[in-house]
Amino acid sequence: MTTTTAVPCRDAVRRSYLLCPPTYFAVEYAINPWMDPSGPVDTGAALRQWQTLRDTLRELGHQVETLPPRPRLPDMVFAANGASVVDGRVLVARFRHPERAPEAAAHRTWFRRAGYRPMAAQLPNEGQGDFLPVGGRVLAGSGPRTSAAAHREAEAALGRRVVSLRLTDPRYYHLDTALAVLSEDQVMYYPAAFTPESNRTLHALFPRAILATDQDAAVLGLNAISDGRHVLLTEAAHGLAARLHAEGFVPIGVRLPELLKAGGGPKCCALELHQAPRERP
């Protein structure tokens, strides 16, 4: 007799994302351990790799909006860091480092023009890099960028319960480098990037979560975009791709080696314009 484990059927949800082309991408300063300003960067290659990511999102049926890039803001391609968007509410980021601080004004302008009412943050807060909505709550990272006090500010602004998670490893400086939301009840994460207490919190919320190996975390495999079915992640994350496949997700390998030199992957390029469920088509 053979026993088969039921693999859940996963449905994709059509989403909208805000992306910013890496027109002025460079590694000119080091604000995370991945960045080496003395190394070579090919901006043309970065643009081509980013275009493939954008086209893949469109081919999957998602809507992609464009944030106009601004000169002298080489990290602006990481649009997910510029704001938190939850149920159509927008809290614009307040960047920790002065090098990225002016990006917030570009986000505020875009959201205003798009008909949102963007709110300003008083405390350091790096948007969807550290705030990820899932299952009626928002998971929030604190560490080198977003402060724990900023979680309370975000809770009031976004109107959802915020669950605080503490990051411990400088390589995983944003929540979205150490954890990805896959569906409304499933996540994948790297336990070694969180404190023991945060691991207990995550285990209680997601007892069946996919756990990343050291190797998959070290290629930024957790910086992934999921629509509930398709999961776009770096093609170097072989272990995670196999686990995702076994769980009924469809992993799609993407290549962003130039952007990795700044410490970013697919997820930080795509700010999800998260709408309240009733507003979804």
Query: Which residues make up the interface to ligand ARG (CB under 6 A)?
Result: 31-32, 35, 75, 78, 80-81, 100, 129, 174, 176-177, 223, 262-264, 268
Question: By C-beta, is 32 or 142 nearer to ligand ARG?
Answer: 32
Measured between alpha carbons, how far is 199 from 217 in angstroms, rounded to an integer? 16
To the nearest whole angstrom, how small is the minimum distance from the Cβ of residue 237 to ligand ARG?
A: 15
Question: By C-beta, is 50 or 247 nearer to ligand ARG?
Answer: 50
94: DSSP letter: B
**Encoded amino acid at 63, one letter:** Q
Cα→Cα distances 87→42, 46, 109, 218, 277, Å: 37, 31, 19, 32, 7
Q: In the chain, count of helices (H) and strands (E)?
A: 8, 15
To the nearest whole angstrom, how small is the minimum distance from the Cβ of residue 161 to ligand ARG?
A: 22
Question: By C-beta, is 10 or 21 nearer to ligand ARG?
Answer: 21
CA dihedral 64, 69, 73, 76 (to 10 degrees): 0
To the nearest whole angstrom, how small is the minimum distance from the Cβ of residue 256 to ligand ARG?
A: 11
Active site residues: 174, 268
Strands 161-166 and 230-234: unpaired
- Residue 160, number of CB atoms within 10 A of its CB: 16
Closest residue to ligand ARG using C-beta atoms: 268
Question: By C-beta, is 147 or 248 nearer to ligand ARG?
Answer: 147
To the nearest whole angstrom, how small is the minimum distance from the Cβ of residue 68 to ligand ARG?
A: 19
68: DSSP letter: P
